[in-house]
Amino acid sequence: MNNSYYNLLPDTGFVRLSTILKIIPVGKTTWYEGIKTGRFPKSVKLGKRITAWRVEDIRNLINSKEEGGSDGTSN
């Protein structure tokens, strides 16, 4: 995980996939497969062509990984 980007996440709100992939070292295909299997959080449609994820969900994912949870990523 890249902690410098993690510290830049707002406390609440939404983040786009490009930001998530800077923090969590997986590719787009792996990310979307992880959503389908429940390993990664589901997205939220903010507009017709805008997809984002809740910051709280991403923080929870990162925290669970740091606590020894398995999310399919490797360090």
For residue 14, the enclosing domain spans 3-66
pLDDT on residue 32? 97
pLDDT on residue 10? 85
Task: Name which of 4, 45, 48, 10 is nearest 58 in CA terms.
Answer: 10
Asked, for residue 73, whether it belongs to a domain, the answer is no
pLDDT on residue 53? 98
Q: How many domains does the chain have?
A: 1
pLDDT on residue 38? 97
CA distance 23 to 31: 12
pTM: predicted TM-score of the whole model, two decimal places:
0.80
Burial class (CB in 10 A: 0-12, 13-18, 19+), 15: buried
Ranges in the chain, pLDDT < 70: 1-5, 69-75
Asked, for residue 26, whether it belongs to a domain, the answer is yes
Asked, for residue 33, whether it belongs to a domain, the answer is yes
pLDDT on residue 29? 98
Strands 44-47, 50-54: pairing kind: antiparallel
Contact residues for 27 (Cβ-Cβ < 8 A; gap 6+):
21
* DSSP state letter for 48: T
